[in-house]
Amino acid sequence: MSADDRWGFTPPDDSWVVEQELPTLRLFRLPDDLLVINPQRGQVDDEQTARVCRDALRAYAAALERPVRVAVLMDNTVNQTAGARDVWSSITPDWYGCCALISNSILSRAMVSFFNGIRRPVVPTRVFATLDEGLAWLRTQP
């Protein structure tokens, strides 16, 4: 499996910098300090992977000295466990500013919207069909 096959995503240009590559995901930093989370194909977001990602985001926010704005490419994630949802519900706005969830799948977007209605996100969170739409929204957020 090639690197692109593993990740299912190729950055659009050289301005996207791999901020951190973890065993199951990559964090890209864009020139305006937005972060894009790119899970590997077939990713199961469990408590451990969520904690590793959360800690990386928290460290990045500390380096920036402000909350992070994050886009998550959801289509590679096949499942998210209750433990992962508990980790993500424990984020705080002092280091995590907002989140754009990106999915090409109408079903995935509907499921995320449903779960966000049940367990209201702690920070502004929206679901988008395209990365461009999600990044545009993130750029309007403080």
Convert the pLDDT of each residue in 54-63 to its tens digit. Answer: 999 999 999 9
Question: What is the predicted pLDDT for the residue at 1?
Answer: 42
CA distance 83 to 80: 8
What digits encode the pLDDT tens for the residues 99-130? 999 998 887 767 777 666 666 778 999 999 99
In this predicted structure, what is the pLDDT of residue 118?
A: 65
pLDDT value, residue 2: 46
pLDDT of 116 reads: 66
Per-residue pLDDT band for 6 (boundaries 50, 70, 90) equals confident
Q: Is beta strand 25-29 parallel, antiparallel or unpaired with respect to 35-39?
A: antiparallel
Q: What radius of gyration do the chain's Cα atoms show? A: 14
69: number of Cβ within 10 Å: 26
φ, ψ for residue 29 (rounded to 5)?
Answer: -105, 130
Domains of the chain: 3-138 (3.30.750.24)
Q: Look up residue 40 and give its DSSP letter.
A: P
What pLDDT was estimated at residue 114?
Answer: 64
- Predicted confidence at residue 18, as pLDDT, reads 94
Q: Which pLDDT does position 72 carry in this prediction?
A: 94
35-48: pLDDT as tens digits:
999 999 999 999 99
Amino acid 85 reads: R
Phi first, then psi: give them for residue 55, nearest 5 degrees: -65, -40
- Select from 32, 27, 22, 31 the least CA-distant residue to 9: 27
Length of the chain (residues) = 142
Residue with tokens 């433990």: 83
* Helix extents (H) in 32-99: 47-64, 82-89
Q: Mean pLDDT check: name the lowest of 4-13, 77-86, 102-111.
A: 102-111
